[in-house]
Amino acid sequence: MVSVVLTIFLLHVLFVVFEANQGNEFVSVVYVLAKTLVLGLGDVFTPDDAVLGVVLNYGLAALVYVVIGQLIIKALRR
């Protein structure tokens, strides 16, 4: 499950960096999913460059998901 969330975040960041067409249905779905899954971490960093902000915020969210995911996996294996 964590890998699915990370993939969504990665796609969202790539779409923002490469200025993907927001009117595209797939891009739009990824955007909505990423905004939903970011859980309040989407505006932690607010640099002047909006693209950098997306990279930093979604990178932080991905890191949080990985750490929490690993903790849950370790707890379940006990």
Which pTM value belongs to this model?
0.90
Positions in the chain short of pLDDT 50: none
Of the candidates 70, 65, 78, the one whose C-alpha atom is nearest the C-alpha of residue 6 is 65
Which residue from 13, 65, 17 is spatially nearest to 39, judged by alpha carbons? 65
Sign of CA dihedral 40, 45, 48, 49: negative
Q: For position 78, what pLDDT does the model report?
A: 86
**How far, in Å, CA of 71 to CA of 46, rounded?**
29
What is the pLDDT at residue 12?
97
Q: For position 53, what pLDDT does the model report?
A: 95
What pLDDT does 57 receive? 96
Distance CA 48, CA 30 (A): 24
Rounded Cα distance between 58 and 44, Å, is 10
